[in-house]
């Protein structure tokens, strides 16, 4: 009878040890799964944090991370010879990505790579393309038989500036009317005299 009891005790110990091992393995697998899930969540959150500027509603398509650049350019707009004033509050800091600021209507600040000038004009509700300069009130200044819309970047005539991402120190002229080459040169000299504020 002693042998039978010993065998039963040994079986109970083995069963108990096996059930404890099985329970430990199950606990370890659950803990590993939870740790893997936490690591996945942290990885995803880190990715979202790093790329979050590109996903901000209203962010320019193709723009880099907000703050990855801080570039300045000078802008002069003349319509029928009259200077357009971007220094008024309705044109100041409409976007964190690219804007005018501190009541300065000539210096454009760009705070991310890949932000084109067209985005600046979109944020201040002015439409521009290769033919027209369009105000939100419905006034359009479009190239026709008598007048033309012209763009200059660093004294070079260009067809359109919508997709242009300016470099630090660029000088941009937008002019509409029937200017002579001499008048254009005078506007370019005026543009060159504008101080670029950083």
**Which pLDDT belongs to residue 31?**
76
> pLDDT digit string (tens) for 141-198?
999 999 999 999 999 999 999 999 999 999 999 999 999 999 999 999 999 999 998 7
Please check the confidence at residue 59 and state whether its pLDDT lies above 90: no
66 is a domain residue? no
If we measure between CA atoms, which residue out of 122, 120, 118 comes closest to residue 110? Answer: 120
Mean pLDDT for the chain? 88
User: Is residue 40 in some structural domain?
Assistant: yes
**In this structure, what DSSP letter does residue 105 have?**
S
The answer to whether residues 133 and 80 touch, using CB atoms and an 8 Å cutoff, is no
Confidence band (pLDDT; 50, 70, 90) for 21? confident
Start-to-end C-alpha separation, the chain? 98
Same domain for 85 and 174, yes or no, is yes
Residues 51 and 76 in one domain: no
| Number of domains the chain contains | 2
Determine contact, residues 83/77, Cβ cutoff 8 Å. yes
CATH assignment of the domain containing 95 = 2.170.130
**19 and 91 assigned to the same domain:** no
pLDDT at 19: 73
* Rounded Cα distance, 79 and 135, in Å: 12
**Residue that is written with structure tokens 């901000």 in the block:** 56
Same domain, 121 and 41: no
On whether both 140 and 168 belong to a single domain, the answer is yes
> Domain containing 26: what range?
1-55
């Amino acid at each position: 009878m002693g042998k039978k009891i010993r065998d039963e005790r040994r079986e109970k110990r083995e069963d108990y040890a096996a059930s404890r091992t099985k329970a430990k393995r199950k606990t370890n697998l659950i803990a590993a799964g939870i740790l893997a899930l936490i690591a996945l969540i942290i990885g995803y959150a880190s990715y979202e944090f790093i790329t979050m500027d590109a996903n901000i509603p209203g962010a320019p398509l193709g723009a880099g991370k907000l703050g990855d650049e801080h570039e300045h350019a000078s802008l002069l707009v003349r319509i029928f010879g009259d200077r357009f004033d971007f220094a008024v509050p309705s044109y100041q800091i409409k976007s964190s990505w690219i804007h005018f600021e501190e009541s300065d209507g000539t210096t454009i600040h760009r705070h991310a790579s890949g932000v084109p000038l067209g985005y600046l004009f979109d944020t201040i509700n002015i439409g521009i393309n290769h033919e027209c300069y369009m105000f939100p009130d419905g006034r359009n200044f479009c190239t026709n038989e008598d007048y033309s819309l012209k763009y200059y970047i660093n004294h070079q005539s260009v067809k359109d500036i919508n997709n242009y991402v300016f470099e630090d120190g660029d000088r941009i002229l937008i002019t509409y009317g029937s200017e002579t080459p001499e008048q254009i040169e005078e506007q370019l000299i005026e543009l060159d005299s504008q101080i670029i504020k950083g």
